[in-house]
Amino acid sequence: MKKNAFLTFIFACIPGAGQMYYGYMKRGTSLLVYFCLFIMLGAIISPLVVGVAVVYMF
C-alpha cells in the first residue's frame, strides 16, 4: 500500500507517530510515551532539560 507523502511528513515531525503510521504500533507507542515522559520530567526538574529534548529531536 502506497503511503501519502504529506501524512508521512506530518507524522515524521511527531516522535513515534511515523512508526505507528507505518504499522509499528508497539515501537511507535514506546517512543511517544518515552518522549512525553522525558518532556514532563524535564519541565519538573529544569527548563534546560526541555532544551536538550529540542536539540535531541534535531
pLDDT 10s digits, 8-55: 898 888 889 989 998 999 999 999 999 998 888 877 877 776 677 778
Print the domain residue range for 14: 5-57
Rounded to whole angstroms, the Cα distance separating 9 from 11 reads: 6
Which pLDDT score is estimated for 8?
87
Cβ contacts of residue 17 below 8 Å, gap of 6+? 11, 28, 32
The count of structural domains within the chain is 1
Which DSSP letter does residue 4 get?
A: P
Q: Which pTM value belongs to this model?
A: 0.66
Judge contact between 33 and 26, C-beta under 8 A: no
Residue 3 to residues 7, 17, 27, Cα–Cα distance (Å): 8, 14, 19
β strands within the chain, DSSP E: none
pLDDT band at 57 (very low <50, low <70, confident <90, very high): confident
